[in-house]
A and B are shown apart, each in its own frame.
Chain A
Amino acid sequence: MSKRKVKDAHLPVGECITQVHQILRRRFCHQQLPDRPQGVEAQHKHLAELLKRTAVHGESNSVLIVGPRGAGKTTLLKCVLRELMKETEVHKNLLQVHLNGLLQTDDRIALKEITRQLHLENVVGDKVFGSFAENLAFLLDALKKGERSSSRPVLFVLEEFDLFAHHKNQTLLYNLFDVSQSAQAPIAVVGLTCRLDVLELLEKRVKSRFSHRQIYLLSSLTFTQYLERVQTQLSLPGDFPDRKFAQEWNASITTLCEDKSVEDVLQRHFNSSKDFRSLHLLLMLCLSRVSVSKPVIKPADFLDASHLCSADSKANMLHGLSILELCLIIAMKHLNDVYEGEPFNLQMVHNEFKKFLQRKSSSMYNYEQPVVMKAFEHLQQLELIRPADASSAKVQGEFQLMRLMLDHGQIMEALQKYPQCPTDVKQWAMSAFA
């Protein structure tokens, strides 16, 4: 019996790879919730207890979860909610309202959304009747009428909390915090934000009604933990249909994480940022190279992926410029050197370029002003040069003052990599450093 089961579970390689992609892509791209959030046990406990007190005992609370982008704020909250909802008492009792500062850009839209998500009586079909004032009064009434003991608690989740603080008079925040402070229907307000100075954005009256409870998700990750994280993220779960393949895969991941070059890549990545989202990006790039013909991740994949991640995009763009455009950039660099970062216009750049042509160049002939102008405009379109002041719409194109958006290192590096760069142009670029 057991033997047959093993045989059944043996899938062809293509099928396995598809499954691997399915599972890992869900993890990296769709931000699938992990079984337990790692490294944030204390915060997790704090938040879970707080929400439970609201859900079960009807206590009104407010809390802010603060942390940089990609630190796992939403993941933490969702994990806590998932656990809470497993309890039948909470599941029956708690109402949830999810708002996002990106979507609900003013209080009117937010209010409509709240009314909709609470399924209130005056909502028929999908249309909300009544004006903003009526709506707010109705909603507040409904919340005020409730009592601590009898009415169902409501959980308000405000993602991108700092954007709500930019609403006019912060009416919504004031009312939510006010209800949470007074003995009305029990509500919990959970705000998620990436701004550390979010309390400074609040008005005084709003701030005084907020409970000043903040949960910080500042990553205190060490590199060994980071490596472990990589390993768990890449490993296949126990319920993978083909046991043997999963074991081999996991073994290959373990050896991969011990590889020196992979460790170097990850160390570099760790030094630039600790957040998980950029890690996911890196792993996703590695994963995309796994196919039937190459069913494991190799250290070379990691190297390639990190090259892709860390590539300087401006240098990439410089590589595709024509020689004329490159010459203009070198002329601008010289002007920057001579006049110490003063803005320049096309005439000056062209003058500098002409000087070069007269003095040195043999490989190029004189371009006419309109051709140079076209090249200059192309550079402006690529935003490699920018107008020094925005209010100069009336100035003729060739006299508009511009600034170069590149630094020496980038230009010199681009010159080194440039395919078939004429030697005199290279020497001209070098000459400023002498």
Chain B
Amino acid sequence: MTGLLQQPGYDEERLKRVSELLPCREVQAGMLLSLMGQPQQYCYPSVFIYGHRSSGKSHVTNILMEELELPHATVSCVECVSVALLFEQVLLSFFGCDAASLLPRSPSLSDFVRIYRQQSSQFPAEQTRYIVSDTSPELLRDADANLLPALLRLQELVEDNVTVILLSEIVWETFRPNTGCFEPLLLHFPDYSKDELKQVLSKNKHPSYSAEFYSSYINILLGVFYSVCRDLRELRHLAALNFSKFCEPVEAGKAKVGDTHKLWKNIEPHLKKAMRTVYLREVSRCLSAHTHVELPYYSKFLLIAAYLASYNPARTDKRFFVKHHGKIRKTNFLKKNEKTSNHLLGPKPFPLDRLLAIFYSVVDSRVAPTASIFSQISSLVTLQLLVQISHDDQLDAPKYKCAVTLDFISAISRTVNFDIVKYLYDFL
């Protein structure tokens, strides 16, 4: 399908090469190209391209710019922590380093536009110049109130044939400043469909196996992951990681290349496990489920006490922790006032006194309230297992919240032989 990319003013050969480099994106590339028009013609002042992650936004624009050799400046909004870097990069790629060195220290937009005008009057644009702002332009929105509106009407401000292209994952509505601005041309890059994903993923096949074999592998992979993940980059990473596992039975001689069912049976549990580990990037970290933190004995109990204080309502403390609590009517106690359990709403703050009271109740032996106990509380805060809230009163009545999960606290309480579920109001 090379017929889609046709635009007078560009080299035929190059257009053909471009369309080969952009599988499944010919329509979008063609639309972008037709909007850009011929190199010397004007393009719309600002184009806003949005679409999901790895739907080929930067790839298409970059390939078009590079292969057709259009004058362009690609700026990454993540890299440009200050506007000065952004200005410098634009001037550098349009007019060379002499122009960039003209910028004063901490330049304003006014300086940038002035120097740009000066330079463009010396070297007027024979072709449309493009400023492509890559990766999360939402940072532009947060940077400076004037920056985004000014960039959107840059063509008018510098009176040069220049077009700003913004690539974003977020829809345009969230960008609009409250006094309005020059509306850009919106262009949507739709997501790849399942077939297109298959087609793109099957391209990088393994040299020692046939194309059909690889595409059957991709089929199985998509069957498992498609409902969770449509990110091409992620899928490609997963495909590369698991392919050796898929080939194992063939290499061991247990199955033939055509034995689809056997291969599927072999790989599927493996892929499901990979969703837990590889997809969440836990292989390299080895964290989360296996969280194991060595804590001192009292710290463990302090943490347990904090968890109980955070997730139990204060009115039930008497029932749980006082030995001779007298009579409490069972119906009254079990009447749940809250609509939803605390494990859905998250931890509640509690005062230090309550923490210590529960702590003394759950620890069997007598503990003196020494400095070490209190310093352990504050070190739990530095470990971010507890969170101190309301900084207004550091010493007198500090309030805390427990910031650990149920799994974590159950693991801890198992090490000290404490049955935490018995003490939790939600699980009665």
Closest B residue to A419 using CB positions: B193
B179 with A194: CB separation less than 8 A: yes
Q: Which chain B residues border A364 with CB–CB below 8 Å?
A: 227
A residues whose Cβ falls under 8 Å from a Cβ of B: 14, 17-18, 21-22, 25-26, 28-31, 69-70, 74, 100, 102-105, 109, 112-113, 116, 162-163, 194-195, 277-278, 281, 284-285, 288-289, 291-293, 308-309, 311, 313-314, 316-317, 319-324, 345, 347-348, 351, 364, 367-368, 370-371, 374-375, 381-383, 394-396, 398-399, 419-420
B185 with A396: CB separation less than 8 A: no
Closest Cβ of chain A to B260, distance in Å, is 22
Contacts known (A103-B150, A277-B182, A348-B344); A320 close to B228, Cβ less than 8 A:
no
Given the complex of chains A and B, what is the CA–CA distance between A316 and B229 in angstroms?
A: 17
B8 with A371: CB separation less than 8 A: no
B39-47, B69-77, B317-325: which lies at the interface? B39-47
A109 with B110: CB separation less than 8 A: yes
Given the complex of chains A and B, what is the CA–CA distance between A278 and B403 in angstroms?
A: 51
A370 contact from B45, B110, B280, Cβ within 8 A: B280
A324 with B227: CB separation less than 8 A: yes
Contacts known (A18-B8, A31-B156, A383-B170); A103 close to B113, Cβ less than 8 A:
yes
B49-57, B59-67, B326-334: which lies at the interface? B49-57
A313 with B50: CB separation less than 8 A: yes
Closest B residue to A386 using CB positions: B174
Sample of 13 A–B contacts (CB below 8 Å): A14-B8, A69-B181, A69-B182, A103-B110, A194-B180, A284-B35, A284-B185, A288-B37, A316-B190, A320-B230, A322-B230, A371-B228, A394-B389
A281 with B185: CB separation less than 8 A: yes
Given the complex of chains A and B, what is the CA–CA distance between A359 and B291 in angstroms?
A: 32
Interface of A is mostly: helix
**B:163-182 near A, CB below 8 Å:** 169-174, 179-182
Q: Which chain B residues border A293 with CB–CB below 8 Å?
A: 6
B173 contact from A21, A285, A313, A345, Cβ within 8 A: A313
A292 contact from B8, B155, B170, B173, Cβ within 8 A: B8
B24 part of interface (Cβ distance < 8 Å): no
Q: Which chain B residues border A31 with CB–CB below 8 Å?
A: 156
B37 with A347: CB separation less than 8 A: no
A21 with B389: CB separation less than 8 A: no
Q: Which chain A residues border B185 with CB–CB below 8 Å?
A: 281, 284-285
Closest A residue to B51 using CB positions: A320
New A-B contacts (8) at CB < 8 Å, excluding given A311-B188, A322-B228: A26-B42, A29-B42, A29-B44, A109-B110, A281-B185, A288-B37, A313-B171, A320-B52
A347 with B44: CB separation less than 8 A: no
Size category of the binding interface on chain B: 35 or more
Given the complex of chains A and B, what is the CA–CA distance between A17 and B171 in angstroms?
A: 34
Given the complex of chains A and B, what is the CA–CA distance between A110 and B285 in angstroms?
A: 53
Given the complex of chains A and B, what is the CA–CA distance between A321 and B228 in angstroms?
A: 9
A29 with B155: CB separation less than 8 A: yes
Given the complex of chains A and B, what is the CA–CA distance between A109 and B104 in angstroms?
A: 13
Given the complex of chains A and B, what is the CA–CA distance between A348 and B156 in angstroms?
A: 50
Closest B residue to A292 using CB positions: B8
B346 contact from A21, A288, A382, A395, Cβ within 8 A: A395
**B:212-229 near A, CB below 8 Å:** 226-229
Closest A residue to B347 using CB positions: A399
A313 with B34: CB separation less than 8 A: no
Closest Cβ of chain A to B396, distance in Å, is 21
A21 contact from B38, B108, B157, Cβ within 8 A: B38
A102 with B190: CB separation less than 8 A: no
A375 with B228: CB separation less than 8 A: yes
Given the complex of chains A and B, what is the CA–CA distance between A258 and B164 in angstroms?
A: 35
Given the complex of chains A and B, what is the CA–CA distance between A418 and B275 in angstroms?
A: 24
Q: Closest 5 interchain pairs by CB?
A: A399-B346, A320-B191, A313-B171, A103-B110, A29-B42
A162 contact from B38, B173, B179, B194, Cβ within 8 A: B179
B183 part of interface (Cβ distance < 8 Å): yes
**B:113-158 near A, CB below 8 Å:** 113-114, 146, 149-150, 153, 155-157
Q: Which chain A residues border B186 with CB–CB below 8 Å?
A: 308-309, 311, 313
Given the complex of chains A and B, what is the CA–CA distance between A396 and B226 in angstroms?
A: 28
Given the complex of chains A and B, what is the CA–CA distance between A100 and B108 in angstroms?
A: 13
Closest Cβ of chain B to A202, distance in Å, is 16
B42 with A313: CB separation less than 8 A: no
B255 part of interface (Cβ distance < 8 Å): no
Closest Cβ of chain A to B173, distance in Å, is 7
Closest B residue to A314 using CB positions: B171
B423 part of interface (Cβ distance < 8 Å): no
Q: Which chain A residues border B169 with CB–CB below 8 Å?
A: 381-382
Q: Which chain B residues border A285 with CB–CB below 8 Å?
A: 35, 185
B55 with A105: CB separation less than 8 A: no
A322 contact from B9, B35, B229, Cβ within 8 A: B229
B22 part of interface (Cβ distance < 8 Å): no
A277 contact from B110, B183, B229, Cβ within 8 A: B183
Closest Cβ of chain B to A395, distance in Å, is 7
Closest B residue to A193 using CB positions: B179
Closest Cβ of chain B to A97, distance in Å, is 13
Q: Which chain B residues border A292 with CB–CB below 8 Å?
A: 8
Closest A residue to B401 using CB positions: A394
B343 with A109: CB separation less than 8 A: no
Given the complex of chains A and B, what is the CA–CA distance between A163 and B144 in angstroms?
A: 13
Closest A residue to B113 using CB positions: A103
Q: Which chain A residues border B401 with CB–CB below 8 Å?
A: 394
Q: Which chain B residues border A30 with CB–CB below 8 Å?
A: 42, 155, 161
Closest B residue to A368 using CB positions: B276
B337 part of interface (Cβ distance < 8 Å): no
A370 with B188: CB separation less than 8 A: no
Closest Cβ of chain B to A119, distance in Å, is 14
A288 with B228: CB separation less than 8 A: no
B41 contact from A21, A102, A104, A112, Cβ within 8 A: A21
Closest B residue to A348 using CB positions: B344
Given the complex of chains A and B, what is the CA–CA distance between A325 and B170 in angstroms?
A: 16
Q: Which chain B residues border A323 with CB–CB below 8 Å?
A: 227-228
Q: Which chain B residues border A399 with CB–CB below 8 Å?
A: 345-347
A347 with B343: CB separation less than 8 A: yes
Q: Which chain A residues border B208 with CB–CB below 8 Å?
A: none
Q: Which chain A residues border B155 with CB–CB below 8 Å?
A: 29-30
B365 part of interface (Cβ distance < 8 Å): no
Q: Which chain A residues border B183 with CB–CB below 8 Å?
A: 70, 277-278, 281
Closest Cβ of chain B to A91, distance in Å, is 20
Interface centre among A194, A320, A323, A324 (most CB of B within 10 A): A320
B108 contact from A18, A109, A383, Cβ within 8 A: A109
Closest B residue to A405 using CB positions: B174
Given the complex of chains A and B, what is the CA–CA distance between A394 and B346 in angstroms?
A: 12
B397 part of interface (Cβ distance < 8 Å): no
Contacts known (A277-B183, A374-B280, A382-B169); A102 close to B37, Cβ less than 8 A:
no
Closest B residue to A162 using CB positions: B179
A383 with B174: CB separation less than 8 A: yes
A313 with B172: CB separation less than 8 A: yes
Given the complex of chains A and B, what is the CA–CA distance between A25 and B35 in angstroms?
A: 10
Q: Which chain B residues border A113 with CB–CB below 8 Å?
A: 110, 114
Closest B residue to A100 using CB positions: B157
Q: Which chain B residues border A26 with CB–CB below 8 Å?
A: 42
B228 with A324: CB separation less than 8 A: yes
Contacts known (A313-B173, A314-B173, A345-B344); A367 close to B38, Cβ less than 8 A:
no
B340 part of interface (Cβ distance < 8 Å): yes
